[in-house]
């Protein structure tokens, strides 16, 4: 089978053992012996094994790795945008709640001022009515006094005049 004919289903089912898995197992065995990295030629072999692994890696796997990285970037960007949207929503919510509280406080204060004005108007009206009653009583007394004077003078007019003797 060529690389193009290998499908993920075949690999998962175990029907096809991929060449780069064999290379990875070989690399693991070589690295488990401590003496492998002590030699410069072994380091070259290790680099060659890694390069072979990269070359053996199917295009789909490289593409998948790229897609995963892109997906992580996209998810991070989406998460950042979501956090920004939530932060803006929190700010807007706080602003609206604050405005609502301010409006409620203004309504309460306005109602208190209206009630106070009504009470002051009632008190002022009562004071004006009391003063008006007092003035009207004073005027009534003046009229009564004038009536008494008029009645007295009328009665004096109806009395015969005393003629005094001439001297």
pLDDT value of position 71: 86
DSSP 17: -
Whole-number Å distance between alpha carbons of 9 and 7: 5
Whole-number Å distance between alpha carbons of 7 and 61: 11
Which residue would you say has higher pLDDT here, 20 or 66? 66
Q: How many residues does the chain have?
A: 167
The domain locations on the chain are 3-57
pLDDT tens digits, one per residue of 111-159: 999 999 999 999 999 999 999 999 999 999 999 999 999 999 988 888 8
Beta-carbon contacts of 58 under 8 Å, excluding residues fewer than 6 positions away, are 3, 6, 18
Mean pLDDT score of the chain: 80
Whole-number Å distance between alpha carbons of 145 and 47: 134
19 closest CA partner among 43, 49, 47: 49
Q: How far is CA 1 from the centre of its chain?
A: 62
pLDDT tens digits, one per residue of 33-64: 666 556 666 667 777 777 777 776 667 776 77
């Amino acid at each position: 089978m060529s690389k193009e004919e290998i499908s993920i289903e075949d690999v998962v089912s175990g029907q096809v053992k991929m060449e780069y898995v064999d290379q990875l197992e070989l690399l693991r065995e070589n690295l488990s012996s401590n003496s492998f990295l002590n030699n410069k030629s072994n380091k070259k072999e290790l680099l060659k094994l890694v390069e072979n692994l990269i070359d053996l890696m199917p295009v789909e796997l490289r593409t998948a790795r790229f897609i995963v990285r892109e997906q992580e970037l996209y998810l991070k960007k989406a998460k950042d945008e979501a956090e920004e949207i939530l932060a803006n929503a929190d700010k807007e919510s706080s602003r609206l709640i604050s405005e609502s509280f301010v409006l409620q406080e203004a309504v309460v204060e306005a109602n208190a001022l209206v009630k106070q004005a009504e009470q002051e108007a009632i008190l002022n009206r009562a004071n004006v009515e009391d003063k008006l009653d007092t003035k009207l009583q004073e005027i009534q007394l003046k009229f009564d006094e004038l009536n008494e004077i008029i009645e007295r003078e009328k009665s004096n007019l109806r009395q015969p005049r005393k003629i005094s003797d001439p001297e």
